[in-house]
Structure formats: C-alpha cells, structure tokens
Amino acid sequence: MESAVEELMPRLLPVEPCDLAEDFDPSVPPRTPQEYLKRVQLEAAQCPDVVVAHIDPKKLKRKQTVNVSLSGCQPAPEGYSPTLKWQQQQVAQFSTIRQSVNKHKNHWKSQHLDSNVTMPKCEDEEGWKKFCLGERLYAEMSIATTTGENPGIDYVQGRWLYALLACLEKPLLPEAHSLIRQLARRCAEVRFLVESKEDERVPALNLLICLVSRYFDQRDLADEPS
C-alpha cells in the first residue's frame, strides 16, 4: 500500500519515518523544521485510509428542486429570425453610424439646447419616459400598463433605443452591459408574441437583438440564422 501511495505521491522532502519511541512530544510546538515535518507525518498516520460519509436516507427521498437561470433569449418562432447576411449588414451599417456619431460629438457638445427645451432631472424616470416618447405615446403606455396590457416596444421607442445604442461607449460598464441584455431579452419576448412574421415590428425587434448580440459581443443572445 505504501509503495502504491509513494508512486502516486512521491516524497518531496527526505523525512525519516517517525519513531514514537523517540523523545518527541507532539503537544509541544515544533522548534525545528524536522520536528514540524514529524508532526505532519504523525497526524497523517492517524488519518484513516478510507472515509465513509454517512448520509441520511430520508434526505434522499425528499423532492429536490433546482433553479436554472436561462441567460439566453426566447428563441425566435420559425421563420422570424433574420439571415446571417442581413445581420452582418446591420452590424456594418450600425458601425458606420457610430463612427459618424463619435466624429460629431465634440461639435454637439459645443452647441446649446434650445432654451424652450426643459430636460428632466437625472433621477426623474417618468419624466425621461415622457420626454423621449412624447405626451401621446407616454399616455397610451401608461394606460396599457395600468390595465395590465402588454404595450410591447413602439416604433418611437425603437428609434430612441437605436440612438442610445449608437451613443453607447465601449467597453461597456457593468450596468450598461446588464441593461442591453435585458433589452435583447425583452425584444425576444415581444417578438414571440407577435402573431405574424409579416408584422412591421419583427424587423425592428430583430435589429435590436442583432446589435446587442453581434455588435456588443453578447453572442449567447444571438438569433440562429434562418
């Protein structure tokens, strides 16, 4: 047995076998490296070769549940997902738009907003929704939310989301990373509920999923090409 153990775990230090007849008191702190190694050797000799875990059989009979978190998107219904060529074209066009945005950032910073435009405060979430969507669409979404209806993603919302993605700087901050993944999942959920693949919302939803997954490198959320 010892030869087999030594073959698998060869000795790294030349330590002689511990002789209990020697004047060696394991209760006394080691004073030399040799005494320390002897202490380790003695403790190892006292460990059993085989350890059996005693498991309560009653615990094995209990119904156990495992919570699995799906990180990907809701798969597209058959015929809804775009082709790989289409996705590559959208990524290339989006990249060009982002280059243009970066080019003109300094110019926009030097411009002042119209004095008639009142910007919401940073913490005013509802104010930003109203500012971005407009009064009419904001009111419609509020009513839909109150009545329990699923408002989905409107065309105006889509334009804002596209513009925000175009201005989003890389590398992504953790919060931005989480938010765009939520956006892609939300688009996939809305698309799954669309009754016809000819619905005008499908290309817009596909576009947002495509940009999040393929441009911002969230490949686990990408659509499989049709």
Q: Residue 94: which residues within 8 A CB-CB, separation 6 or more? A: 165, 166, 211, 215
Tens-digit pLDDT profile for residues 52-78: 767 766 655 555 444 434 467 889 999
How far is the CA of 100 from the CAs of 60, 70, 93, 167, 170, in angstroms?
Answer: 62, 36, 11, 10, 15
Selected residue with higher pLDDT from 61 and 175? 175
Which of helix, strand or coil describes residue 178?
helix
How far is the CA of 47 from the CAs of 6, 8, 102, 141, 192, in angstroms?
Answer: 16, 18, 67, 69, 60
Does the structural domain 84-221 have CATH classification 1.20.58.1070?
Answer: yes
Name which of 115-129, 161-175, 200-214 the model is least confident about: 115-129
Q: Residue 223: which residues within 8 A CB-CB, separation 6 or more? A: 73, 76, 81, 82, 87, 206, 209, 210, 213
pTM as predicted = 0.58
Positions of CATH 1.20.58.1070 in the chain: 84-221
